[in-house]
Amino acid sequence: MSQMDWTRLLNRTRYHSSDAAQDELGRSPFHKDHDKIVFSGAFRRLGRKTQVHPLSRNDHVHTRLTHSLEASCVGRSLGMRVGELMRAEMPGMLPDWAGPADLGAIVQAACLAHDIGNPPFGHAGEYAIRDWFHAARARGLLEGMSAGEQRDLINFEGNAQGLRMVTQIEYNQFEGGMRLTCATLGALMKYPFSSRHVEHGKYGICRTELPIVAEVADRLGLVQLGEERWCRHPLAYLTEAADDVCYAIIDLEDGNEMDILDYEDVEPIYQMLSDNERPPAVDKYSDRRRLAAWRGKVVERLVNELSIAFVRQQAELLRGTLEGELIDYCPPDLRDGIRAAKQLARDRIFNNHRKTQIEIGAFSTIAVLFDAYAGAVQELQARGDSNFRNRKLLGLISNNRPSAGESPYMSYMRVVDFIAGMTDNYAIGLAHQITGNRYD
C-alpha cells in the first residue's frame, strides 16, 4: 500500500501557483494563510452567524467567529505539540525546514477556516437549504442537471461550501480564491470526497471544486481511495479534534450562560475530562469563572492526550487507513467524557424551546430568499434577460451573479454562494424587504 510522506504533506506551494511560497521576515507561508483568512470578509461575517444559539441577546455566548478563533488556538497547540513530539521521538520524519511552529500554523489556519462556508442560522440553515432544494427537485426546477449536480444541491454541506469559499469565491474570484498553501487546504478538508459518497453523512467537495482537489491531492501525495474520494491529510485529524474539543466543551458553558444548564450539570463532565484534577480555589468563583477554570484543565489534558495519540497512530495516518477520530485513541475516560458532553448538549441545549422557535423561523427566511432568487434564475434562463425586480435582486450578488446562458447548476451555485454567505441579520432583513415587510 502506498504511503504518504511529510515532505509532500507540508507542501508550501499555493493553489493556483506552481512556485513554492517563500518566507518573509517573521512570517512563513502558513502564517500568511492565517492572515489571509482573518482579513477576509467571509471570516468577518462569522461574527453574525449562529454557532448554537441563533440571534442571542446574550453577548457572552459564542458565534461562529468566536468558536473559530478558539478552535484555532487549540489547533495551534495541537500542531505545535505534535511537532515537538515528532522531533523528539521520530527524528528525520519531518523535513529539516519544518518545525513545530509550522505544523501549529497550518492547523491554526485550517481551524480558522473550518466553518467559513456555514450558512446563516447554523445547522438549521443547512437543513433549510437542503429542504428547499428537495422541494425544488419535486417541482422540476432541477431538470437538466446531472445526478451529481443535483446531489450537491439537495445535500448542501457547509464543509464543501467552505472549500469553495477559500478556493474560488474570496479575494481572487474563480482565479484561486484565497490562494492558500496546499498544506493548509489539506488540513482543512475533513471530508475529502464528493457528494457521490454522501452516505457517509457529510461530504467536502462540490463538483465545481473536484479538479481543484485532484490537483491539490496530487501535490500533497494524498492516497486516492476511490472515484472522487481521497484519504485525509493527517493534520485534518487535528483540525477535527480542535473543533470537537471546542464545541463539545464550550456548548456546555453557553448552556450555563443561557440558563439552560446548571453548574452542577456540567461539573461532573469537566471532572471526568480533567482526570479529577480540581482547579485551585475553584469554589470561590462565580459559576462562569468556575467553568472557565475547569475548561483550562480540560483543554490542557485533551491537547496532551490527542497529540500523543496522533504520534502513536503515525503509521496508519500516513497510510490513510486510520479509522474513526483521534479521540477514539485516547484514554477511555476522555472518550466517555466527550460523548457525555455531546449527549448533554443534544438532550438539553439543542432542543431548547427558544432555539427551536427561532430555527423554525429560519426555514421561512431561507425559503423566501431561495424562492425569490430561483424565480430570477428561471426568468434569466428562459428570456435571457430580467424584469426590473429580478435585475435588482441579481444585482445584489454583484460580480458572482448568474448570467444568461449559464447552466442551471452553475446559476444555482452562484445563488447558494450569495445566500450561504449571508449573516443571520442580513438574511432576515433581506427576506423582510423581499416580502414588503419593514425590518429595522
- Domain assignment present for 23: yes
172 three-state secondary structure: strand
Distance of alpha carbon 5 from its chain centroid, rounded? 26
Q: How many structural domains are present in the chain?
A: 3
pLDDT of 438 reads 65
Residue 217, C-alpha cell as written in the block: 491531492
Q: Which residues contact 313 (CB under 8 A, 6 or more apart)?
A: 322, 326, 329
Q: Which residues contact 26 (CB under 8 A, 6 or more apart)?
A: none
Q: Half-sphere exposure of 271 toward its Cβ, with a 13 Å CA cutoff?
A: 9
Q: What is the largest CA-CA distance in the chain?
A: 72
pLDDT of 56 reads 74
Rg, the chain, Cα only: 22
Rounded CA-CA distance 180/440 in Å is 38
Same domain, 13 and 106: yes
Same domain, 322 and 380: no
Same domain, 257 and 123: no
Same domain, 21 and 155: yes
Same domain, 271 and 392: no
Same domain, 161 and 307: no
Same domain, 268 and 221: no
In single-letter form, the type of residue at position 94 comes to L
Using CA atoms of 182, 4, 72, 214 in order, give the dihedral in degrees to the nearest 10: 40
Same domain, 75 and 221: yes
pLDDT of 79 reads 98
Spatial CA neighbour of 231 closest among 217, 215, 219: 217
- Domain assignment present for 38: yes
pLDDT of 1 reads 56
Same domain, 283 and 380: no
Check if the beta carbon of residue 183 is closer than 8 Å to that of residue 110: no
pLDDT of 200 reads 64
Q: What are the average pLDDT values for consecutive 10-residue runs of the chain, which has 440 residues?
A: 91 87 83 97 94 74 92 98 97 94 98 97 94 97 96 97 98 96 98 90 95 98 97 98 94 90 94 83 79 91 98 97 96 95 92 82 95 96 93 94 94 98 95 82
Q: Which residues contact 134 (CB under 8 A, 6 or more apart)?
A: 154
Choose the final residue of a domain: 313, 346, 379.
346
Whichever domain contains 297, its CATH number is 1.10.3410.10
Spatial CA neighbour of 91 closest among 311, 329, 321, 319: 311
Whichever domain contains 360, its CATH number is 1.10.3550.10
- Domain assignment present for 329: yes
Same domain, 371 and 228: no
Q: Which domain holds residue 84?
A: 6-234
On whether the pTM is more than 0.85, the answer is: yes
- Domain assignment present for 63: yes
- Domain assignment present for 209: yes
Same domain, 272 and 152: no
Distance of alpha carbon 425 from its chain centroid, rounded? 20
Choose the final residue of a domain: 215, 234, 253.
234
- Domain assignment present for 382: yes
Choose the final residue of a domain: 311, 346, 381.
346
- Domain assignment present for 176: yes
225 three-state secondary structure: strand
- Domain assignment present for 440: no
Same domain, 138 and 101: yes
